[in-house]
Amino acid sequence: MATPLPLSDVRILAASQLGAGPWALSLLSDLGADVIKLEPPGRGDEARWIPPFAADGDSLYYQALNRGCRSMALDLRHPRGQEVLHRIVPSCDAVYNNLRGGEPERLGLTFAALERIHPGIVCCSLSGFGQTGPRAEEPGYDFLVQAYTGFMALTGEPGGPPTRSGVSVVDFSAGLVSVLALLIALRSSAASGKGTEIDVSLYDTALSMLNYLASWNLSRGIRPRRTAASAHQSVVPAQIFPTADGHIVVMCMKEKFWRRLCEVLGEPELARDPRYAGFAERLENQEELLARLEEEFRRRSTKDWLAKLRGVVPCSPVYDVEEALADEHARAREMVVAIEHPVFGRLGQVANPIKMAGVRPEYRRAARLGEHTDEVLGDLGGYSSREIGALRVDGVIG
């Protein structure tokens, strides 16, 4: 018999849309969790309609974010929607949402609303700004939160416009924080029999990621700013350097790497120069030092520099997305997978990043809107086919 996946005994009812929540929950689904996605009948998750390649309520965007999750079309705003919810919740371990402000309370998705029917239920809310505070009721998206929390002010070249990261780093980070909190609470609930309410936000997550930059400001009034060549705020050299035919990233995050770089450059005396002897000295004299290093790196191709530096000094080429996915290390780590889809055919996707000895994640396509509605109602809610038909006629389900 095949070994059960580690989360095969976990069932999560999720009212989540777009990116942060669905993506994080899909990682749990890959590892066995039964994630039942509640979607509004008719249109479903907005991600189903986002191009490219969106057709008939499905899209590559939706497929990438909702892998392996079941779909139930349920109108929680319908007078009978709460009745359906309450019949399903006792069969679940957690209820998850990524709704803003008071929406979870209005839709009956909080621990206070569900404790009576399931004392051990864990209710997790992931929102833009959290359940409290002056912006709690505002929609919160990755782009907005990057602007609010200083990320955009720190990204891009000095003198240029504030710049958003090309990847939704706040969305994905907050999603991971939310499911980490969810798994911690599930462990506590299993031990005590008492559920809880979790409040995670993109905003709080992004502020926490300012970390040492925030500490510099709060403790000494230092105002971090954008740096040229995507350089580290305080470590020199640690940045992009132009080469003869492109770019390379070099990071001397330890003193030994600085000494090794000097040796590779054929200038070991640089490491002994009092102006560049330590982190503080190199930071103080960075203008002169970086000009010298830039001149050296322009003498050779990126390929030549990588051959000299790999395994000696931390370095990397600057890939585009296609090159990143084709890299030999990505393939060796089995980070590119393929899933069959009845309409789109063979879908290429990135794999689950969690590696566990003896565990092979199970990759399945995302569901059609309402594909599992009848199945969930029958198996978890005990509804008969006649009752299900009546709910559909009344517009409670899709």
User: Under a CB-based contact definition with an 8 Å cutoff, are residues 201 and 130 in contact?
Assistant: yes
Task: Provide mean pLDDT across the span 117-125.
Answer: 97
- Per-residue model confidence (pLDDT) at position 191: 95
- Per-residue model confidence (pLDDT) at position 248: 98
Give catalytic residue positions.
171
- Per-residue model confidence (pLDDT) at position 100: 86
Tell me the per-residue pLDDT of 245-275, one tens digit each, with 9 for 90 and over: 999 999 999 999 999 999 999 999 999 999 9
Task: Provide mean pLDDT across the span 134-163.
Answer: 94
- Local structure of residue 336 (DSSP, 8 states): E
User: Under a CB-based contact definition with an 8 Å cutoff, are residues 340 and 365 in contact?
Assistant: yes
Q: Could you tell me which of 72, 97, 96 has the C-alpha nearest to residue 84?
A: 72
Q: Which residues contact 1 (CB under 8 A, 6 or more apart)?
A: none
Q: For residue 70, is pLDDT > 60? A: yes
- Per-residue model confidence (pLDDT) at position 101: 80
Tell me the per-residue pLDDT of 339-354, one tens digit each, with 9 for 90 and over: 999 988 999 999 999 9
Task: Provide mean pLDDT across the span 124-151.
Answer: 94
Interior/surface letters 160-172, b for 16+ CB within 10 angstroms, e for the rest: eeeebeeebbbbb
The two most distant CA atoms of the chain are separated, in Å, by 85
User: β-pairing, 70-73 with 34-39?
Assistant: parallel
Tell me the per-residue pLDDT of 351-361, one tens digit each, with 9 for 90 and over: 999 999 999 99
- Per-residue model confidence (pLDDT) at position 212: 95
- Per-residue model confidence (pLDDT) at position 19: 81
- Per-residue model confidence (pLDDT) at position 18: 86
Tell me the per-residue pLDDT of 267-293, one tens digit each, with 9 for 90 and over: 999 999 999 999 999 999 999 999 999
| Rg, the chain, Cα only | 25
Tell me the per-residue pLDDT of 74-103, one tens digit each, with 9 for 90 and over: 999 998 999 999 999 999 999 999 998 889
- Per-residue model confidence (pLDDT) at position 169: 95
Q: Give the mean pLDDT of the chain.
A: 94
User: Under a CB-based contact definition with an 8 Å cutoff, are residues 397 and 97 in contact?
Assistant: no
CA 224 vs. chain centroid, Å, equals: 25
- Per-residue model confidence (pLDDT) at position 1: 55
- Per-residue model confidence (pLDDT) at position 190: 93
Q: For residue 244, is pLDDT > 80? A: yes
Domains and CATH numbers, the chain: 11-208+333-393 (3.40.50.10540), 247-317 (3.30.1540.10)
- Per-residue model confidence (pLDDT) at position 108: 95
Among the ranges given (56-60, 361-365, 380-384), the one the predictor scored with the smallest mean pLDDT: 56-60
- Per-residue model confidence (pLDDT) at position 2: 64
Structure tokens at 313: 């000094």
Alpha carbons 203 and 185: distance in angstroms, whole number: 21
Q: What are phi and psi of 109, to 5 degrees?
A: -105, 10
Tell me the per-residue pLDDT of 2-47, one tens digit each, with 9 for 90 and over: 678 999 999 999 999 888 999 999 999 999 999 999 999 998 889 8
